């Protein structure tokens, strides 16, 4: 494959992705990161702070909200594809690099993350850059361990799972007498230290919050697997089952070949732990998106090299690429329909707000989950900056999501006024008491019906994906009884 033609293809695909992003609305995940970018912290309940800081940096540019950040992600996908091409060429040859570049651009999980703001694409760019540095160090082309450590540490600011790649590479290096002899010890130690310092940030942040449970489950639930749900679990997170099966078969082939060839051992070291984590999360029924891309790239490069060895394999690879490309296109089209469905829902929600009767203060909004709250907040109040979220989630005695760390309608604020004539030691008041609200959700939870004097359904709204929301009028908030 000629490099010039490949890069023309890549530029064309990138331009199409950028045009698609500009033409379609914001996704719920993007609205959530917009909220996080206006409420920056050293860590968040569901991940590192890198994505929120990157969105905030893009937001400082004088342009429509989120537009610069959303256009950045196709550019990051372009950079990731170039790095995959360069790593494959360093490992094998230009023909392999061409197949790898085409392959990465037809993977559904790659295409999904190329057009939606999220931590996967920035983490992938940095992980591939770090892996490329280690490969060149293995080949004796420079002491790049310290630079690799910086890339991997930066990747951990987007996905904690990025640590799996340097761990695999360090273990493989120390296990090989040939590569152990030429290792840059200072650079390798710096790589480890940079990763530890990066992961120390969320530990300090969590300690300041008195050790909130950021990851659910216990040692017992860690081994509760959903065996029957494995195929569908392996295809979650934008991966699709077909692409997951290709990666799984490729991983088995790579493992067998790694016993013979040094380059395959390097790819196995770079992606083996990520693929293992992918399978584990699929067995647990959890979203494997965080490790899917990192596990796919080394396997993809290996398969690209095998496809370049014969014409017959090339035809098979071309057929697989066409199938995955169609699946990617189908996923992007479905995503567009899902995004556009939120605006009519928000407009009906806005219209229902006009029917809220006057109360002791302004009315407020509540949605059943963070996705719905973030999306409605973005559409209704795109200029909201920090402080109280524009749309709340129902109050909870636990801490189920990031909204529990932000100001809520259930919070009491300090006041010198005695709030209760019997409990005079109470020096806090809730400014939302007596106010009315609109709640939107699939049903009415007890945390809403028990906190308002009266609730009544106003109307139901259906989304194209089959979900049905009901808008409820909630009168006279009084907080939940103890």
The C-alpha atoms of residue 426 and residue 408 are separated, in whole angstroms, by 19
The helix or strand, by DSSP H or E, that contains position 438, with its residue range, turns out to be strand 437-441
Determine phi and psi for 352, rounding to 5 degrees: -65, -30
Task: Give the pLDDT confidence of 195-249 residue by residue, as tens digits.
Answer: 888 888 888 888 877 776 655 554 455 566 665 555 555 554 444 666 777 888 8
Angle at 275 between CA 336 and CA 315, to 5 degrees: 70
Residues in the chain: 482
Domain ranges of the chain: 3-335, 355-477
In the prediction, which pLDDT does 283 show? 79
DSSP 248-306: HHHHHHHHHHHTT-HHHHHHHHHHHHHHHHHHHHHHHT---HHHHHHHHHHHHHHHHHH
CA quadruple 106, 108, 109, 114: dihedral, nearest 10? 70
**Three-class SS of residue 44?**
strand
Q: How confident is the model at residue 71 (pLDDT cuts 50, 70, 90)?
A: very high
Task: Give the pLDDT confidence of 169-202 residue by residue, as tens digits.
Answer: 998 988 887 777 667 777 778 778 888 888 888 8
The C-alpha atoms of residue 75 and residue 79 are separated, in whole angstroms, by 6
Task: Give the pLDDT confidence of 89-146 residue by residue, as tens digits.
Answer: 999 999 999 999 999 999 888 998 999 999 999 999 999 999 999 999 888 887 888 8
In the prediction, which pLDDT does 47 show? 87
The C-alpha atoms of residue 43 and residue 51 are separated, in whole angstroms, by 10
Token pair in block for residue 381: 């109040």
Cα torsion angle, 19, 25, 28, 34, sign = positive
The long-range contacts involving 282-286, CB below 8 angstroms and separated by at least 24 positions, are: 282/230, 282/233, 282/234, 282/236, 282/244, 283/225, 283/226, 283/227, 283/230, 283/233, 284/222, 284/224, 284/225, 284/226, 284/233, 285/226, 285/229, 285/233, 286/233
Percent of the chain at pLDDT above 90? 41
Count of helix runs (H) and strand runs (E) in the chain: 18, 6
In the prediction, which pLDDT does 213 show? 63
Task: Give the pLDDT confidence of 291-322 residue by residue, as tens digits.
Answer: 888 999 999 999 999 998 888 888 888 888 88
Residues in contact with 60: Cβ distance below 8 Å, sequence separation at least 6, in sequence order: none
Q: Model pTM? A: 0.90
Token pair in block for residue 335: 């995503």
Q: What is the mean pLDDT of residues 79-94?
A: 95
């Amino acid at each position: 494959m000629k490099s010039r033609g490949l890069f023309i293809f890549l530029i064309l695909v990138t331009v199409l992705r950028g045009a698609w992003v500009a033409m379609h609305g914001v996704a719920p995940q993007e609205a959530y990161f917009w909220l996080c970018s206006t409420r920056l912290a050293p860590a968040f309940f569901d991940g590192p702070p890198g994505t929120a800081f990157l969105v905030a940096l893009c937001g400082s540019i004088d342009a429509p909200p989120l537009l610069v950040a959303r256009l950045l992600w196709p550019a990051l996908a372009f950079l990731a594809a170039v790095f995959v091409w360069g790593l494959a060429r360093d490992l094998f040859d230009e023909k392999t690099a061409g197949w790898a570049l085409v392959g990465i651009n037809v993977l559904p999980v790659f295409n999904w993350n190329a057009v939606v703001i999220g931590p996967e694409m920035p983490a992938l760019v940095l992980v591939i850059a770090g892996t490329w540095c280690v490969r060149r160090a293995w080949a004796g082309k420079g002491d790049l361990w310290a630079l690799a450590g910086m890339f991997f540490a930066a990747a951990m600011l987007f996905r904690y799972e990025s640590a799996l790649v340097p761990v695999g590479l360090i273990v493989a290096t120390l296990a090989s007498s040939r590569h152990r002899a030429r290792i840059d010890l200072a650079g390798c130690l710096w790589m480890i230290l940079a990763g530890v310092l990066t992961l120390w940030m969320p530990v300090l942040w969590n300690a300041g919050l008195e050790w909130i449970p950021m990851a659910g489950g216990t040692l017992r639930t860690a081994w509760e697997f959903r065996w029957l749900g494995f195929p569908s679990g392996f295809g979650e997170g934008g991966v699709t089952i077909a692409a997951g099966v290709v990666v799984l078969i490729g991983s088995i082939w790579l493992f067998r070949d790694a016993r013979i060839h040094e380059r395959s051992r390097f790819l196995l070291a770079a992606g083996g732990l990520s693929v293992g984590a992918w399978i584990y999360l699929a067995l647990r029924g959890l979203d494997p998106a965080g490790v899917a891309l990192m596990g796919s790239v080394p396997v993809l490069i290996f398969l690209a090299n095998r496809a370049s060895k014969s014409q017959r394999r090339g035809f098979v690879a071309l057929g697989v690429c066409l199938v995955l490309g169609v699946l990617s296109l189908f996923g992007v089209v479905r995503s567009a329909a899902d995004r556009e469905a939120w605006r009519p829902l928000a407009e009906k929600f806005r219209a229902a707000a006009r029917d809220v009767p006057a109360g002791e203060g302004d009315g407020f909004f509540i949605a059943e989950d963070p996705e719905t709250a973030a999306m409605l907040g973005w559409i209704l109040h795109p200029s909201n900056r920090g402080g109280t979220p524009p749309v709340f989630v129902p109050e909870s005695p636990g801490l189920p999501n990031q909204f529990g760390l932000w100001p809520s309608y259930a919070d009491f604020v300090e006041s010198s006024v005695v709030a209760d004539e019997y409990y005079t030691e109470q020096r806090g008041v809730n400014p939302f008491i007596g106010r009315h609200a609109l709640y939107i959700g699939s049903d009415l939870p007890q945390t809403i019906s028990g906190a308002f004097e009266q609730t009544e359904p106003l109307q139901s709204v259906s989304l194209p994906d089959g979900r049905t929301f009901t808008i409820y009028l909630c009168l006279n908030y009084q907080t939940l009884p103890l």
